[in-house]
Structure 1
Amino acid sequence: MRPAEPTTVVDCSGVGPGGITRVLTEITRHWPSGRLRLVAVPSGWDPPAGSAADVDVVSRQAGDRARTVAAATNALRKVTARAKAGLVTVLSLSPSVAVVGSRLPVTTVVHDLAFRLWPHGLPTAVRQYRRASYGTAIKRSRRLLCVSARTRHDLLGLYGVPEHRTVVWHPGSDLHVAPGGPQAQVRAATAGRPYLVVAGHAAHKGVELAVEALPDIPGHVLAVLTSGQRIERFEAAVAASPAADRVLLLDQLSDDDYAATIAGAAAFLMPSHFEGYGLPAAEALRLGTPTVISPDPALHEATDGRAVRMTTWTASAVVRAVTEATGAPRPPVGATGRSWREATLHLADLLAADNGHDLQTPATRSITRQV
């Protein structure tokens, strides 16, 4: 009789635009073996080709958050109802109320606590849901996988989660760059001029600091990665800037265009007010692009101390850091971070260990940074 195939059920109901979508894509691409059953994936997302695992999309996000969570809760209840512990593992890629539907223990990835530490501009309904989802995840999860030591520290400080219930799991940061260079929109707008790239899909990314600094960085175009999420305060800053003609707001890019745009930049900027990790900065450095980060500790951790760090959250600090970054030799490709294959194998190993983990015993596994 053929032995049962190990199965990992992945709750994706908390996955939205940005780095969490990349986590979903890359762990699906690199999952080592067995079966992946994906619950509540984003509506426009499709599994990447080439996965060694047997990938099954159980359901997709549909409609508003309430309907997505309700459907995900029901789907988790169904796929875990007859599952046997030890053969089936449940992973939630972000805190979600939907995990109440799981009949098996859950391991949850926690990316940040921005709704507590940087709530500026968040609608009341969003803050309320995140309070509920984080509270549920903390209560129901067997283990919480934190994408940085900073997030692990925040869980302890804000929720009193003891360290034996948490472990640090850094995402991968390798990107494939297709031949041909940056996309046509970037080439046309820059007209051969050097350009800077800044992450700008959320209000805490500090794009207004980069825009304020641009008049003192002559000759450069500033390309803002919006991921299709236009932020009103950023657009207002651009409109008021004397260098507005040198700002390019980019909509959602394909993975190839995203990587090529960053790889071709004079520098990548992440002057964020808050980060739980800062995956784009790690990706930029791994591509060999000089990288500027804010004083945020998670960004320093994500870039392994190899980025140029702003001394304050000011436009003048951006100017000084960009001058330093662009005046130095470009970092070697692959100088920091680890591959998604390495990160995925580490994640699978943690889940396998959690399947029989005793929560009274402090966790001994920790990340090994591989270059």
Structure 2
Amino acid sequence: MVTSTVVDASGVGPGGITRVLTEVVRCWPAGERMRIVAAPAGWQPPADTAAEVTVAGTQRDGRIGTIAEATRTLREVTGGDAGPGTRVLSLSPSLAVRGSRLPVTTIVHDLAFRLWPDGLSASVRQYRKLSYSTAIGRSERLLCVSARTRHDLLGLYGVPYEKTTVWHPGSDLAVTPGVLPGPVAAVHDRGGRYLVVPGHAAHKGVELAVEALADLPGHHLVVLTGGRPVDAFLRAAAASPAADRVIFLDRLSDAEYAATVAGAAAFVMPSHFEGYGLPAAEALRLGTPTVISPDPALLEATGGAAARMTTWSGAALVDALRQLTDRPPVTAAEPGGRSWRAATAHLHALLSGGAPAVAARL
């Protein structure tokens, strides 16, 4: 039985992996100890966690400083005083795991830097190449967030299936939807309808949603940038005949995010590539009709509950949106994905060595 878990968060950046950190800590078993190494700046353990959580340093001084400090901290906290039953969990491939004196389990979310490197600088690609190689070589076990990512590890790195396991994240949100952001509230108050699309990375396919918008005169398009707008998407929107109906939002609070997605006519993910597709599963959990691209990970994440585009094109997105009118509404009894409590219980069992490859969706 695992009684103490050291969590390496040095590879956690803004976005979905931060949510993984927060929800896993929130749902970790009562009374067990967790030590978070290199937590994202400003991150705090959720107040309702039942575990004994301590933060051993935060990310600072850029990537080099963060990795150096996390490596030293891991070496210290996994030394002779770590105690029996201590395990190390790295939430994303990181060079810092070289400092661990104990076996490491690493979560692998995707291999986008190899399969969809568009928009990534040469330095980022080189760092991820080194961090993934290090994590693969240093980890005792690799947890893949989808069967697609597990397959990619086999194909690109030759990692045998015996070393990998599929672990699906949760999809429920631990907040009540709050107030709509101003620009979205203005559309809503006029009786308008809007679509929501994630747009914080080049592979998200926002240009396809912009293309489709020209054939959807009754809708606005709300782009969630996470505070990181993509220049190519800004240019595509500016050049569109529907430019006045595209809204780019800055980073939202969890409550604003939930309100924006829950109030949408549809949530769309025309992504060119995904390792899993957590936002689509979250949208279904909120009861929002959802459209996905042909990407296999998105089909896995949504379990067939989303309308699927047949090709990567604006026309295919419009056709998929029309399919939604023939589908029964998503209900709480048929949510996307599984709960974070179920996902965390599965993760805990995997670290304890007593779980099946894929646990039930609850």
Q: Aligned pair in 2 of structure 1 residues 237, 74: CA closer, same or farther (>3 Å)? A: same
Secondary structure in 2 matching 1:234: helix
- 2:353 is matched with 353
Q: 2:14 aligns with which of 10, 14, 17?
A: 17
Q: Where in structure 2 are the equivalents of 1:141-180 lying within 5 Å? A: 141-176=139-174, 178=176
Deviation at 1:330, TM superposition (A): 2.0
- 2:356 is matched with 365
Q: Is 1:57 equivalent to 2:55 in the alignment?
A: yes
Deviation at 1:256, TM superposition (A): 1.0
Deviation at 1:131, TM superposition (A): 0.7
Q: Where in structure 2 are the equivalents of 1:3-152 lying within 5 Å? A: 6-33=3-30, 34-84=32-82, 86-152=84-150
Judge which range, 193-202 or 180-189, deviates more: 180-189
Q: Aligned pair in 2 of structure 1 residues 227, 180: CA closer, same or farther (>3 Å)? A: closer
Judge which range, 253-262 or 106-115, deviates more: 253-262
Judge which range, 324-333 or 240-249, deviates more: 324-333
Q: Which amino acid aligns with 2:154?
A: L
Secondary structure in 1 matching 2:22: helix
| TM superposition score normalised by structure 2 | 0.96
Judge which range, 57-66 or 294-303, deviates more: 57-66
Deviation at 1:182, TM superposition (A): 2.8
| CA distance in structure 2 between the aligned counterparts of 1:119 and 1:178, rounded to whole angstroms | 36
Q: Which amino acid aligns with 1:366?
A: A
1:30–1:51 Cα contact (<8 Å) kept: yes
For 1:232-269, what per-residue CA distance to the aligned partner results, in whole angstroms no more than 9, with x for missing partners?
00000111011111111111111111111111111000
1:176–1:259 Cα contact (<8 Å) kept: no
For 1:275-327, what per-residue CA distance to the aligned partner results, in whole angstroms no more than 9, with x for missing partners?
00000001111111110000000000000011100000001001111122245
Q: Aligned pair in 2 of structure 1 residues 31, 180: CA closer, same or farther (>3 Å)? A: closer
Deviation at 1:328, TM superposition (A): 3.4
| CA distance in structure 2 between the aligned counterparts of 1:83 and 1:155, rounded to whole angstroms | 34
1:176–1:256 Cα contact (<8 Å) kept: no
Deviation at 1:64, TM superposition (A): 1.3
Q: Aligned pair in 2 of structure 1 residues 182, 118: CA closer, same or farther (>3 Å)? A: same
Judge which range, 289-298 or 115-124, deviates more: 115-124
For 1:17-58, what per-residue CA distance to the aligned partner results, in whole angstroms no more than 9, with x for missing partners?
111010001001111131110001110211111111011011
Judge which range, 71-80 or 172-181, deviates more: 172-181
- 1:361 is matched with none
| CA distance in structure 2 between the aligned counterparts of 1:329 and 1:223, rounded to whole angstroms | 24
1:11–1:90 Cα contact (<8 Å) kept: yes
Deviation at 1:370, TM superposition (A): 1.9
Q: Which amino acid aligns with 1:174?
A: D
Q: Where in structure 2 are the equivalents of 1:169-318 lying within 5 Å? A: 169-176=167-174, 178=176, 182-190=180-188, 191-318=190-317
| CA distance in structure 1 between the aligned counterparts of 2:273 and 2:228, rounded to whole angstroms | 18
Secondary structure in 2 matching 1:10: strand
Q: Which amino acid aligns with 1:328?
A: R
Judge which range, 136-145 or 115-124, deviates more: 115-124
| CA distance in structure 1 between the aligned counterparts of 2:207 and 2:84, rounded to whole angstroms | 49
Q: Is 1:340 equivalent to 2:340 in the alignment?
A: yes
Q: Aligned pair in 2 of structure 1 residues 85, 214: CA closer, same or farther (>3 Å)? A: same
| CA distance in structure 2 between the aligned counterparts of 1:180 and 1:56, rounded to whole angstroms | 29
1:85–1:104 Cα contact (<8 Å) kept: no
| CA distance in structure 2 between the aligned counterparts of 1:179 and 1:81, rounded to whole angstroms | 44
Secondary structure in 1 matching 2:267: strand
How many residues are matched?
A: 359
1:290–1:326 Cα contact (<8 Å) kept: no
Q: Which amino acid aligns with 1:52?
A: A
| CA distance in structure 2 between the aligned counterparts of 1:125 and 1:92, rounded to whole angstroms | 22
| CA distance in structure 2 between the aligned counterparts of 1:83 and 1:319, rounded to whole angstroms | 59
Cα RMSD of the aligned pairs, angstroms, is: 1.6
Report % sequence identity.
64
For 1:196-229, what per-residue CA distance to the aligned partner results, in whole angstroms no more than 9, with x for missing partners?
0001111100001001110101111111010001
1:7–1:35 Cα contact (<8 Å) kept: yes
